[in-house]
Structure 1
Amino acid sequence: MAHITTVNLSNDKWNETDAGLIAVGVFEDKSFTPMAEEINTASDGAFSQAVEIGDVKGKSGESHTFYLEGKRVLLLGLGKKDKYSAMSVRVAAGKASRSAIEKKVDTVAVECLCIDCKHCQAVGEGLVLGSYQFLDYKTKGKNNFELKSATVLGCTKEDITKGAAIANAVCLARDLGNHPGNVTTPSRLAEAAKEIADEGGMNLTVFDREEFTEMGMGGLAGVAQGTDEPPKFIVLEYMNGGDEKPKVIVGKGLTFDAGGISIKPAAKMDQMKYDMCGSAVVLGVFKALAMLKPALNVVGIVPSTENLVGAKAYKPGDILKGYNGKTIEVLNTDAEGRLILADGLSYASKHYDPEFILDFATLTGAVVVALGHIATGVMGTDEGLMEKVKTSSKSAGEKVWEFPLWPEFCKQVQSDIADVKNTGAPSQAGSIAGGAFLKEFVGDNIPWVHFDIAGMAWGVKPNSINPKGSATGWGVRLVLDMLDV
């Protein structure tokens, strides 16, 4: 873990702070934030001159360093004022942290970059997310530099603290994804769940291979046949909401996916350590619940295993029986994520009376073909729940695009010899086929949305809050917004 965990608050003036870097802002219309205006006046118009010359344009993501009155001052571009949003604030605050690291300055102070304090939480989020680096396997040396502290000058403490906590949860999800498959194993996910449960006073149940096989989880048991690494079925219960129905989040915990007998190509197979990023969303959300302790009932479910080639590995043509009793024809062992999620969704439907179910999975390469590394494909059974997803998507700055689950698509996962098959029509609507399959394992009348995060869990274009070559923790902020945390 290499990131700040807390964000401090101070009422110091810009020339009173002892931070090594001070960050303020300018918009594209050439207007300055209040503290930037103060510094501009005190420096005889240093900022204004740079703007008029054209060196400073105020575009989002832009930054310029000035040296004024013995201070190192970073002027951040904030973009268009009429389009200024929480995401704009996150990106700007993240740029401040990232710039401090690049300049090897271990303390940064940032002006409250909000307009009328509408997005104070985003300042805390951006500072922590921008400080994130994955250095666990780098030999310590002069090139490994970490930010030690960040301070916000003039913001609401509650909002800043909440933002930092949410960003810490995202960073946990990133860490779990970034560790290799020999470290982030199903057992490690169970350990992480225990750490979170202990911190938040939650109930934790972990079923091992013998237990979940005896319970009838044929999807998870089938995929796990090819690995000696102990698989787990993890259930976290955060019950702090009285009699209200629980919200359930299910995450695919495939800690390494070689494809099984339908083996993947060698190129980029190393990236299949990220195939557990759906489970990282669940654990990240529960980390935030443990820290913030909202009045909610939330259940998290993580079916977890590896998918390898072995003497006992399941085979194309095998028939498995899911936890809800439906039989599954296996046509491709590399379409395994939906098999383990099927048992997770069935378990949630049977043992809880959920208000809704959300599931997260790096399920298909097809979603990357459709949406690239720009948005997550979503599909579900309830229009009201889908609208909540879209609203929270905008608030969290995590884009989604709805795919249809029309009956024609659902028919494509019906099998001639079993109830369903784990593939759809050849080379057609692959991401939708995954959702259509999962729908078979969601209880009747339970609102449900499936998130295919394969394009967003890693591989996104780096920016100030998403480092290069890293898991993103995508989805944690969106879910927490949906939960009104």
Structure 2
Amino acid sequence: MIKINFFPQNLHDAKVDAILIPCFEDEKTNQYLSLLGSEFIDEYQRLCKSKSFEAKAAKVHVLSSLGKINASSVILVGLGKAKDLYCERLRRSVAVAHKAAKQTKASSYLSLLNQVEIPDVTFTVAEAILLADYSFDNYKSKNGNGKSKIKNVFLWNNDAKAIPEKRKEIKRAEVVARFTNYARNLVNTPPNDLYPEVLAKEARKLKGKGCKVTVFDEKALKRMGCNAILAVGNGSSRKPRLIVVDYHPKGAKKSLAVVGKGITFDSGGLNIKPGSYMETMKCDMSGAAVALSVVSAAKALGVKHRVIAVVASAENMPSAFAYRPDDIIKTYSGKTIEIGNTDAEGRVVLSDALAFTEKNIKPDQIIDLATLTGACVVALGYWTTGLMTTNDEMATMLSQAGERSGDRVWRLPLWEDYKDTMKSDIADVKNISKCRDSGTITAGIFLQHFVKNTPWAHLDIAGTAFLKEAQYYKPKGGTGAGVRLLLEYIDAM
């Protein structure tokens, strides 16, 4: 991980490869460039006048220092208009600037982006740097990985008294980024190396003081009546697991269970997916990755609330033993599910996990996360997670946490009008809707059957958990969507 420290001295004395300067569209001059010398101010004004650089948000321009200072480059970082600056705009601009510094082959740089005036600016800048620096190179040979790496970043701060408090912000950013990147790593790991028992081994690493880990294998699941998880996993030689990680600090008065869908590979089962739809289905355990990462981060941060990760993990594969359309499954809750399509398996495993969580853990709140529906991608694209809940307070708090973290959500309804679409003639509920409309909502309606009284929210991360192309500080592939959202949410509980 990059080392982030403070530099409290004269900018001319900074022995770094680049200096990053914040710039606004509506500024007449730049106070930070003036600290470097009049030559830089003159060049900046020339660029602005010619409109070669307009300081629009997340736009950068690299200047050569021409030997005027120790750094070889000065990178101008656009932030848009000063009055319009907010955390997510800064986060994205920091990410673009960090990548620009990498392209100059810099191994270190000094950033003044922490000088802008927004809340928690040090945390925001540090977090964006650490998230933007992520890459998944675990399966590349050493000789094939020739990317330049930034080892040290310095944030300019000439107020020595403020540094100890700001160091705490950096420490928190390091934890949040580390476990967001941990979720990314889990999601990006290929399914031949990551399957239910491997997820269970990852969970067992958390066992320790104040943190209990319980893994239910296929024999235990059968005894318990978790037939929904067993049904989905039955087609694979790699058997399913129900994983519980319970972080329970002394004196905790509030509790949150984070329930994650952990389908380590989804072929679709007997309703097999077309090849192009199957290619990225290692990401179908993203909800599980988030759940494990959130409880890990809560433990590392010493969160005062009880946080429990519950992961329902299976491989959905076709075989002579696979579950079938027309099967009826008696779930842990006692309710029965008619299977209409084996490729709607995520909601099936979650039915057991949600009912188990409510009955045995009895948390104050439950939030589940799942790459559940392609319909969510159609509705909201790749920028926003779908939120469904009948609890207005949870909806408001999750929306606010999303705005603060940049890990945004958008609420969809769970109105009574949709309930008839999930009815079965021969079971309590069917795992697919009678029609193709509102697929994200009807999936939420299905899950609602398995939570009786506990305040609950469902997050569909189908569009945000895995990207075809990078978005600022979010990489191509696994993004860790949901980790930062829930850490913000827990902090506000």
TM-score band w.r.t. shorter chain: over 0.9
**Counterpart Cα distance in 2 of 1:376 and 1:146:** 31
Matched, 1:151 2:157: no
1:201 Cα deviation from its structure 2 partner: 4.6
Aligned match of 1:108: 109
Aligned match of 2:366: 357
Aligned with residue 137 of structure 1, among 136, 139, 144 = 139
**Counterpart Cα distance in 1 of 2:288 and 2:447:** 16
Aligned match of 1:122: 124
Going from structure 1 to structure 2, the CA distance change for 1:116 and 1:44 (only over 3 Å counts) comes to closer
**Counterpart Cα distance in 2 of 1:33 and 1:248:** 48
1:37 Cα deviation from its structure 2 partner: 4.1
**Counterpart Cα distance in 1 of 2:397 and 2:179:** 21
Matched, 1:9 2:18: no
Going from structure 1 to structure 2, the CA distance change for 1:180 and 1:425 (only over 3 Å counts) comes to same
Contact 2:246 2:309 in 1 (8 A): yes
Matched, 1:59 2:56: yes
Matched, 1:164 2:174: yes
Contact 2:185 2:478 in 1 (8 A): yes
Aligned match of 2:303: 294
Aligned match of 2:455: 447
Question: Secondary structure of the residue that 1:354 maps to in structure 2?
Answer: coil
Matched, 1:97 2:98: yes
Residues 378-417 of structure 1: CA deviation (Å, up to 9, x unaligned): 1112111111111111111122221111112122212111
In structure 2, runs of 5+ residues without a counterpart are: 158-162
Give 1:345-384 correspondences, 5 Å limit.
Answer: 345-384=354-393
Aligned match of 2:74: 73
**Counterpart Cα distance in 2 of 1:36 and 1:273:** 47
**Counterpart Cα distance in 1 of 2:426 and 2:3:** 56
**Counterpart Cα distance in 1 of 2:29 and 2:464:** 34
Aligned with residue 18 of structure 2, among 12, 17, 21 = 21
Name the TM-score, length of structure 1 as normaliser.
0.94
More displaced 10-residue stretch of structure 1: 234-243 or 474-483 = 234-243
**Counterpart Cα distance in 2 of 1:436 and 1:210:** 30
Going from structure 1 to structure 2, the CA distance change for 1:308 and 1:204 (only over 3 Å counts) comes to same
Give 1:62-461 correspondences, 5 Å limit.
Answer: 62-68=59-65, 69=68, 70-71=70-71, 72-116=73-117, 118=119, 119-141=121-143, 143-154=146-157, 156-198=166-208, 201-240=210-249, 242-444=251-453, 446-459=454-467, 461=469
Identity %: 34
More displaced 10-residue stretch of structure 1: 298-307 or 25-34 = 25-34
1:112 Cα deviation from its structure 2 partner: 4.1
Residues 101-136 of structure 1: CA deviation (Å, up to 9, x unaligned): 222222222124353362221111101011111111
Contact 1:6 1:164 in 2 (8 A): no
Contact 1:256 1:307 in 2 (8 A): yes
Question: Quick one: which amino acid aligns to residue 173 of structure 2?
Answer: G
**Counterpart Cα distance in 2 of 1:352 and 1:168:** 28
More displaced 10-residue stretch of structure 1: 281-290 or 353-362 = 281-290
Going from structure 1 to structure 2, the CA distance change for 1:236 and 1:23 (only over 3 Å counts) comes to same
Going from structure 1 to structure 2, the CA distance change for 1:355 and 1:44 (only over 3 Å counts) comes to same
Residues 84-116 of structure 1: CA deviation (Å, up to 9, x unaligned): 111122112222322232222222221243533
**Counterpart Cα distance in 2 of 1:197 and 1:95:** 38
Question: Secondary structure of the residue that 1:264 maps to in structure 2?
Answer: coil
**Counterpart Cα distance in 1 of 2:259 and 2:2:** 26
Aligned with residue 484 of structure 2, among 469, 477, 480 = 477
Aligned match of 1:30: 27
Question: Quick one: which amino acid aligns to residue 25 of structure 2?
Answer: E
1:311 Cα deviation from its structure 2 partner: 1.4
**Counterpart Cα distance in 2 of 1:268 and 1:259:** 9
In structure 1, runs of 5+ residues without a counterpart are: none
Matched, 1:45 2:54: no
Residues 444-482 of structure 1: CA deviation (Å, up to 9, x unaligned): 2x1111011101111265233022x32111111111111
Residues 323-379 of structure 1: CA deviation (Å, up to 9, x unaligned): 111111111000000011111111111012322111100001111111121211111
Aligned match of 2:160: none
Going from structure 1 to structure 2, the CA distance change for 1:124 and 1:255 (only over 3 Å counts) comes to same
Going from structure 1 to structure 2, the CA distance change for 1:342 and 1:83 (only over 3 Å counts) comes to same
Going from structure 1 to structure 2, the CA distance change for 1:67 and 1:237 (only over 3 Å counts) comes to same
Going from structure 1 to structure 2, the CA distance change for 1:45 and 1:260 (only over 3 Å counts) comes to same
Question: Secondary structure of the residue that 2:242 maps to in structure 1?
Answer: strand
Going from structure 1 to structure 2, the CA distance change for 1:453 and 1:86 (only over 3 Å counts) comes to same
**Counterpart Cα distance in 2 of 1:392 and 1:114:** 24
**Counterpart Cα distance in 1 of 2:149 and 2:441:** 42
1:191 Cα deviation from its structure 2 partner: 2.2
What do you get for the CA RMSD once the two structures are aligned?
Answer: 1.9
Question: Quick one: which amino acid aligns to residue 456 of structure 1?
Answer: T
1:6 Cα deviation from its structure 2 partner: 4.4
Matched, 1:462 2:470: yes
More displaced 10-residue stretch of structure 1: 33-42 or 158-167 = 33-42
Contact 2:286 2:371 in 1 (8 A): yes
1:140 Cα deviation from its structure 2 partner: 2.3
1:147 Cα deviation from its structure 2 partner: 2.5
Going from structure 1 to structure 2, the CA distance change for 1:289 and 1:182 (only over 3 Å counts) comes to same
